[in-house]
Structure 1
Amino acid sequence: MAFSACPICNFSVPTHELERHANLHFIGEDEARDMEFAWRIALLPPIPSPTNKYISIFVDSAPSSSHGIDARVDTTASEGNRNDRGHASLVLSQKREVLYKIEFDLMAMLRRCLELERGSSRTVLCGYIDHFQSIVSHDHGWGCGWRNIQMLSSHLIKQRQEAQQVLYGGSGFVPNIESLQRWLELAWNKGFDPPGSDDFNQRVHGMKTWIGTTECAALLRSFGLRARIVDFSTRKAAGVSGPMDRFLSKGVDSSIAVSIGEKSYRDFGKGKGHQVLARWVWNYFSSSNTGESGNQPVVLSEKSPLYFQHDGHSRTIVGIQAKPEKKNGMLQYNLLILDPSERTRALEKSLSRNSGWQQLIKRGVRTLRKPQYQLCYVDPGIASGEELEELKNMHSALHEL
């Protein structure tokens, strides 16, 4: 067996275990113990039991130990239960993504910087979220979609208890890209998004494969989450309706009033193009907040972040700012975006110093020049039964730019 020295502690470990060992240096003691525990279980060979259709797995053969786990894998499972065995196996073998550790809550720092800005503006932000950056030596150029799934997952695990209990087997952490690829393949095996599954020939694990909002929705829906998709396109959208239309209930051709402080500004909906997308994002985040006063310059929304896809790249929208223009009083929107291509350390540094963060996070409507955009968001609650079956088929609401 080949051995290699750990670059962190210089301890000699088997070469095939070097990556796992090194990653343990970057997480907490409790997390490291949990990962080691799961890894040991994953390596255990199957135990045949002809008299009992269930297999009970215990570490160190100690059922009464605090580390005891009853995996209860059904060895008589039929074709319909095969995915259950795959789910249980993946829960034990998945790996946690190693994050760059920041000292303070990223969104709390962003909120503070927004509150310090001068001028009349109002901002709506989502709650907690971690930033997952692409790594040059690992996923640069193709991994942005997976990183956005990680960002969205970090929010759901932290902010929604029902999501935390079902996501990734209730592990309570965000898996790495390789594990997410296996979760997507399992979602396809369960029947979620058959056309998309066919496009990838039912396989993504270990491949440098671009994905988008459809794959994000299929993965999250496989856990019962109500992931929705909405399209914004320059093509005609006659007769299109969907779950997102309620956020545009005032219509594109009507004016929208937005309260900023003690004043109310009119956002005239007759503007064409990507203002439609910006108004939708504003209405989405503003339709549900944590009960904070509308007079505050920055308020928190209970809505999930938005997976934001366009040709060539994807990012995560964590909020939106509305600011009246001096000339005509119309609202100018700035999307607040976390980009996987940005360095987490650079984001932390700019926000902590309140300097340069605007160039990394703010994106005005004028920067939206693509002919088509797609968003994915997650409604509260867990689907089951007939509703879960319906979620296997992908549909979107289409709005014309």
Structure 2
Amino acid sequence: MFSVCPFCHNNVLPVELERHANNHFLEDDFEKDMQLAKQISLELPNSGAMGAPLYREESSNTLPRRSAEISKSTLIENPKELKEAHREERIACIVGLQTKSIFDKVEGGLMPLLRRCLEFENRKFKSVISGYIDHYQSMKLEDYGWGCGWRNIQMLSSHLLMQRKEARDVLFGGSGFVPDIPLLQRWLEVAWEEDLTCQDHAFFRQTVFGSKKWIGTTECAALFRSFGLRARVVDFDSVPFSNSGDSRCKVVVKKVYGPMDKFVRPCQSDQLKSILDHDSSDKGGNTIGHQVLMEWVWNYFTQGTACRLDDLQNVLISPKTPLYFQHDGHSRTIVGINMQMSVKGSQETYSLLILDPGQRTKDLERTLRDNNGWQKIIKRGVHTLKKPQYQLCYIDPGVACMEELEDLKTIHSEYIRL
């Protein structure tokens, strides 16, 4: 069933062997080019002479490379130019190597099936959901147990490529498709080269390609920001404050639960302070506190909807992107939210609508087509939120440029206490 890679001796599927082996050559070529560039930059310039080519010529049966002659004095005086040349070269190689990720395509789309099921519900239930999205499940022989973060990035990417033209033009070199996990790992390394979350980059020892390292919200934001997309991070935290006074509007040093939130700098957003006034103390766990998270998600998806939910319409399509939903140990994708209308003297009851990479796509499709049992695998009520910390990542419309692009290199989060 498997073939052994002659370079790293790992077991890979036969159909993946050629691409897997070629990636090893890409690593070797890139390292040789870096060494050659460093050697050129250290040599003394000859009077009136031009330096040797920065990149060597390649034969027709190897990766295409751009030949460029740069003077030795220029290399010494402009290290940023040298770095940019290498970055462009690496991106060209990645674009040339990209392959479309394989996934189970749902005929007619997954979200129309979900919408139909929600419309069949009792009118006391109101829902707001995202538009198009593909479900990417973790594969037992490929990424099961560690790849959920990458699968959620693939889900977000499928939405952006279908729903936002400006994102389709810049994502993954304009390829128009969602790459597989190894190439997403390459793109994240390119993001780190842009000095995005440099501490995050150090945590992973400058490399993630070919590894089974877990990633999370911060890495998701870094990857999308490297394309100029406005990826935002929100922290929900029930860790007690040590500050005195009104602590709900102050920054707190949080306990680290994994690489996903180690390097996010919390900052307070004025527009969220009214939500923070919600009383989050309760004696039976933190259900009241996590109600704040539910209300935030409801407000997020309902913002910008063309009309209001009423007796004639109980499902709306939101213009917002799905949410990358991270907590300790796992991540999922929130594609909408369901609300049960309150009766007199009670609160509204919310349920997140979630696509989990751990679920099989065929199981999701079957339960939705039959309108039977889908609630158990898609709906998640407030009582299921048992973790002390949650993080969300969403992507605002548009593509940044110039000064804003530089600002995106530093990832902050909006901080909300539960």
TM-score category (smaller protein): 0.7 to 0.9
User: Contact between 1:132 and 1:340, CA under 8 Å: does it hold in 2?
Assistant: yes
User: Contact between 1:125 and 1:285, CA under 8 Å: does it hold in 2?
Assistant: yes
Matched, 1:345 2:362: yes
Shift of 1:80: 2.7
3-state SS of 2:231 partner: strand
The aligned amino acid for 2:102 is: V
Matched, 1:238 2:234: no
The aligned amino acid for 2:391 is: Q
Q: Distance in 2 between matches of 1:202 and 1:351?
A: 42
Structure 1, residues 158-191: CA drift from partner, whole Å, max 9, x if none?
1000000000000000011111011101111121
What TM-score do you get using the length of structure 2 for normalisation? 0.74
Q: 1:400 to 1:73 in 2, by over 3 A?
A: farther
Q: Distance in 2 between matches of 1:182 and 1:222?
A: 12
2:333 to 316, 341, 353: 316
Structure 1, residues 75-98: CA drift from partner, whole Å, max 9, x if none?
647233211111111011122100
Q: Within 5 Å, which residues of 2 pair with 1:322-401?
A: 322-326=339-343, 328-401=345-418
2:141 aligns with 137
How many residue pairs match? The answer is: 344
1:224 to 220, 224, 228: 228
2:304 to 284, 288, 303: 288
Unaligned runs of 5+ in 2: 4-10, 31-50, 71-80, 242-247, 252-265, 280-286
Unaligned runs of 5+ in 1: 5-14, 24-38, 61-69, 256-270
Q: Within 5 Å, which residues of 2 pair with 1:291-310?
A: 291-292=306-307, 294-295=309-310, 296-310=313-327
1:186 to 181, 187, 190: 190
Q: Within 5 Å, which residues of 2 pair with 1:117-132?
A: 117-132=121-136
The aligned amino acid for 1:345 is: K
Matched, 1:19 2:15: yes
Q: Distance in 1 between matches of 2:101 and 2:179?
A: 5
Shift of 1:341: 0.1
Structure 1, residues 369-392: CA drift from partner, whole Å, max 9, x if none?
100000000011111111111111
Matched, 1:86 2:90: yes
Structure 1, residues 344-389: CA drift from partner, whole Å, max 9, x if none?
0000001011111101100001110100000000011111111111
Q: 1:78 to 1:232 in 2, by over 3 A?
A: same
Q: Distance in 2 between matches of 1:121 and 1:198?
A: 47
User: Contact between 2:249 and 2:273, CA under 8 Å: does it hold in 1?
Assistant: no
Shift of 1:20: 4.5
1:33 aligns with none
User: Contact between 1:318 and 1:337, CA under 8 Å: does it hold in 2?
Assistant: yes
Shift of 1:104: 1.8
Q: 1:80 to 1:51 in 2, by over 3 A?
A: closer
User: Contact between 1:245 and 1:397, CA under 8 Å: does it hold in 2?
Assistant: no
Q: Distance in 2 between matches of 1:143 and 1:160?
A: 25
2:181 aligns with 177
Shift of 1:244: 5.9
1:251 to 275, 280, 303: 275
1:154 to 149, 158, 162: 158
Q: Within 5 Å, which residues of 2 pair with 1:43-82?
A: 74=68, 76=70, 78-82=82-86
2:76 aligns with none
Shift of 1:122: 1.4
Shift of 1:145: 0.4
Percent of pairs with identical residues: 50
Shift of 1:324: 2.2
Structure 1, residues 7-55: CA drift from partner, whole Å, max 9, x if none?
xxxxxxxx999414999xxxxxxxxxxxxxxx9xx9xx99xxx999999
Runs of 4+ aligned structure 1 residues displaced above 4 Å come to 20-23, 50-57, 70-77, 240-245
Q: 1:111 to 1:155 in 2, by over 3 A?
A: same
The aligned amino acid for 1:126 is: S
The aligned amino acid for 1:251 is: I
Q: What RMSD in Å do the two structures reach over aligned CA positions?
A: 3.4
3-state SS of 1:314 partner: strand
User: Contact between 1:233 and 1:373, CA under 8 Å: does it hold in 2?
Assistant: yes
2:259 aligns with none
Shift of 1:301: 0.7
The aligned amino acid for 1:372 is: Q
Q: Distance in 1 between matches of 2:186 and 2:394?
A: 22
Q: 1:284 to 1:243 in 2, by over 3 A?
A: farther
